[in-house]
Chain A
Amino acid sequence: MSTTESAPLLAVDQLVVEYPSKKFRAKPFRALTDINITIGRGETLGLVGESGSGKTTLGRAILGLAPVTGGKISFDGKDISHASRKDRRVLSRDLQVVFQDPYTSLNPALEIGDILAEPLGVQGMDAAAAKKRVKELLDQVGLPSDAINRLPREFSGGQRQRVAIARALALAPKLIVCDEPVSALDLSTQARVLDLFLQIQKDTGVSYLFVSHDLDVVRHISHRVAVMYHGEIVEQGPAGVVTTDPDHPYTQRLLLASPVPDPDRQEQRRADRHRLLETQRMQHEQAGVLA
């Protein structure tokens, strides 16, 4: 018993994801190389990186939506790298997802109640119990209970994201993969949705893999942070360290690139950034000379 308690909830070990190339006999496209991460119970791992860095692919590989070419993903002590659809159905109780775009992640033809009841029905819950649970969920994410009979298009972006969060919460999972869940939202809506994520974690002890391109968001919500660059994890560690005093040149650039809302401090940061870029360029040249 003690082994499962101390073991991390999710462990990704030397994961490689490759997509077969469309061209005949061409080399497959390698999206992820040698990924090693762990997430403990009740912990949030922030995953930050630029577009095309593979951060979304990592989330999708854990969810079984991207092909695992090499390495191992274990969840709750079980190897789920190549879980079958049947295993996934069992797994979906513990492993859920919130996608970036609240406009396409909800089927526009289904009512909110049906969308939320879907994962419950898959697990064999009867209709009356499911309806009760759906009402609880709506309450939990701060939506009115009359939302049950409404269609997604009647809601704003922030409200839709709440519906998506409620769907992920429906089965009381242990881990939720959040793929840029606040990127499409307005600033004040983003703040409310982040509050909701934190509140849910406090109440339920759920773990998050929180994927974002925004270092500020990741710093705010994560216990630990991993930085991805070109399909690899270049740096990971406690959120406070990685997001304020990073080691890797890319993370340093990323930190100084995000503008601060004050003209004078931003001017300072801009100057720091230019100095950093200059230093990195010179180091790069020196390395080239030495090589």
Chain B
Amino acid sequence: MSDSVETAAAAASTPAVPTGQSGTVVRSTVIRRLFRNPLGLVAMTILLAISLLAILAPVLAPFDQNYANIAKTLAAPDSVNILGTDSAGRDVWSRLLFGAQLTLLSALLCAGVAIAIGLPAGLIAGYYAGKFEAVSNWVVSILMSLPGLIVLLTIRAAFGPSVWMSMIAFGILISPSYFRLTRTAVQSVRNELYVDAARVSGLSDLSIIARHIFSVVRAPIIIQTAAIAGVAIAIQSGLEFLGLGDPTKATWGVMLSEGFKNVYLTPTLLFWPALAMALTIGGLVLLGNAIRDALEDGEKIKHRKQAATSVKGPLAGPTPARLPARPSRKSVAAVDLGTEHHLVKVTNLGVGYPQADGSIKKVVDDVSFHVDRGEFLGIVGESGSGKSQTAFSILGLLPENARVVGGSIQFDGNYTVAPGEERVSQERLSKLRGKRISYIPQEPMSNLDPAFTIGYQLVTPMVRVLGISKAEARQRALKLLADVGIVSPDRTFNAYPHEVSGGMAQRVLIAGAISCEPDLVIADEPTTALDVTVQADVLDLLRELQRRLNIGVILVTHNFGVVADLCDRVAVMQNGRLVEEGPVRDILRNPQEPYTQRLLASMLEGKEPMSMLVSPRPKEPVA
């Protein structure tokens, strides 16, 4: 454990150096972000100051909270009573300090009771589900349907005017909010594989909850507690303001009530407790927000990092951010003579993502290839090779922050990205996309909207793009579904996506891709999510359609078998660069580049079973 402490210290002392160790201790970075947030800093300062005043009340207060000087009632501030006195001649400053003690303690009690009930119940209900969850859901529903204020008034009537009693009751009433928060968080991780792995390791349920599950709910609980404590202070002061408090104890609510009675004589009596409450509740709310922001910031940065660092290695080095001034809104230059006949031509394409430090991280670098009509081009590479980024730049579907840092893309004799342009022109591409260029995605299921029938999702684009009537589009959709090998097009037309299998869904998407008679289809790993037998059927379908419609297809894949099955030519990508390109037989049988050779050597087909695939030395650099 001492190691993690050391790392925490190291991480905290060198925040600017992004070494591999800087992200090890998550909590310290959240706390650091919290301190950097001005609102969080203000909130914490206020709460800290009020807590200190409350703790030091017996030392700081010049008088006892109930010491009454009858001779000096409703006095103005002077050197003895720095905030004046109330109607009984008690010192306002002293009462404010003792009041802070009692008010904060009662808020903590309320939150503590609510956590003590809600957290364990939520953990158990979320982790075990079943009967306990059902029963606790009923209890929670009953608690939430109780009219809170009336219950509190009843309790006051039954047990007398005790701050503690009413706060315990309020804690019980508000515990469902913790229960629900915890249960939902636990449910989301209950079936994670690392929990299964812990079960296989023989960890008891208690240790699994403590080690693997509790960490998920920790942050939301802290945020919730900040909010609940504020509510508790408000409710408690509200009750006391109504005169239901304990008059022998100084709290802010009692003082407020007292001040209200004398509002015409000494308005400041009302001001001080109100200010104290406003500061405390405001501080708690702001703190909650700041913690939430700090946690969300962390996730945002993580996501961006993932997208941008997908390519590491020789290209990852910073490139100058300042790019030459680019001509904008001018007429697009004509493509080079003699290249118009290519359906798509990508020339020296570079795609990059601007980084926080001003540099640009390139994910595609100097990539050139072309596709003609009736041609099947395969782009092969491993994850992070930039193959999908290349495909997306042809489609014009790069993320908002992506920049074309070099080169050009032309489609059917016109530039979609002219040389020198920094972004894909959406204006030009939206005329092509869906009409002349279409797309088959990797995950069939997540690319169909579950709320609409398959028929609706096929018909709508056709009506829009081709300008035909709904009835005509319906006829075409049914024919397309039959064309892609769906046995009962009518039934599939009226089905919702969840009612069909993955292979069927991919056929539907292929039908959608060819529905508007495109010239170019870009298929991004179209069979990766499918079973092998289904994959073979879909490959057959793609081949047959491509021949029949004489379209150009760019197939992005990592599978050389799929390439061998479909493609005329292959481009191999590694780390954003195109390492080798050529006819499929040349590349697969006689690869020139070491990288292609290595990839092909990793194929299992035709290998001696149980033999070592990569070099037999055990201490190879690790994957």
- Residues of chain A touching chain B, judged by Cβ–Cβ distance below 8 Å, are 50-51, 60, 63-65, 85, 88-92, 95-97, 99-101, 104-107, 109-111, 113, 118-119, 122-123, 127, 142-144, 146, 148-151, 153-154, 156-159, 162, 164, 167, 185-195, 198-199, 213-217, 219-222, 239-240, 253-254, 256-266, 270, 273
Contact = CB atoms under 8 A, between A and B. Distances in A.
B467 interface: no
A107 B194 contact: yes
A70 B539 CA distance: 40
A219 B26 contact: no
B490 interface: no
B475 interface: no
A62 B201 CA distance: 14
A151 B536 CA distance: 39
B564 A266 contact: yes
B532 A99 contact: no
A104 B7 contact: no
B188 to A, nearest CB: 12
6 contacts: A65-B199, A95-B200, A191-B602, A191-B613, A259-B559, A259-B562
Interface of chain A: mostly helix, strand, loop or mixed: helix
B558 interface: yes
B286 to A, nearest CB: 27
Contacts of A64: 199-200
A64 B602 CA distance: 35
Interface stretch (B16-24, B244-252, B517-525): B16-24
A187 B215 contact: no
Contacts of B605: 216, 258, 260-261
B197 A105 contact: yes
A266 B202 contact: no
A176 B200 CA distance: 11
Given A151-B24, A199-B618, A261 B202 contact: no
A190 B601 CA distance: 12
B21 A50 contact: no
Given A107-B215, A190-B602, 4 more contacts: A92-B200, A99-B197, A111-B24, A162-B623
Contacts of B502: 51
Contact of B561 (A167, A213, A259): A259
B614 interface: yes
- Per CB-CB distance, the 6 closest pairs between chain A and chain B, nearest first, are A158-B623, A259-B561, A89-B202, A261-B560, A105-B193, A257-B536
A162 B620 CA distance: 13
B427 interface: no
Contacts, number: 215
A258 B561 contact: yes
Contacts of B215: 107, 109
B539 to A, nearest CB: 7
A246 to B, nearest CB: 13
Given A85-B204, A118-B201, A187 B599 contact: yes
B622 interface: yes
B622 A159 contact: yes
A189 B197 contact: no
B336 interface: no
Interface residues of B, number: 71
Contacts of A270: 536, 540, 565
Contacts of A186: 382-383, 558
B281 interface: no
A60 B536 CA distance: 29
Nearest to B3: A149
A113 B1 CA distance: 10
Contacts of A92: 200-202
B261 interface: no
B202 A85 contact: yes
Interface in B566-623: 584-585, 588-589, 598-607, 609-610, 612-614, 616, 618-620, 622-623
Given A187-B602, A260-B561, A261-B603, A253 B533 contact: yes
B212 interface: yes
Contacts of A221: 609-610
A122 B562 CA distance: 46
A261 B26 CA distance: 45
Contacts of A220: 604, 607, 609-610, 613
B78 interface: no
Given A63-B200, A190-B602, A148 B3 contact: yes
A188 B382 contact: yes
B526 to A, nearest CB: 13
A197 to B, nearest CB: 10
Contacts of B357: none
Contact of A119 (B202, B564, B588): B202
Given A149-B24, A217-B604, A193 B202 contact: no
Contacts of A261: 560-561, 563-564, 588, 600, 603, 605
Contacts of B192: 104, 107
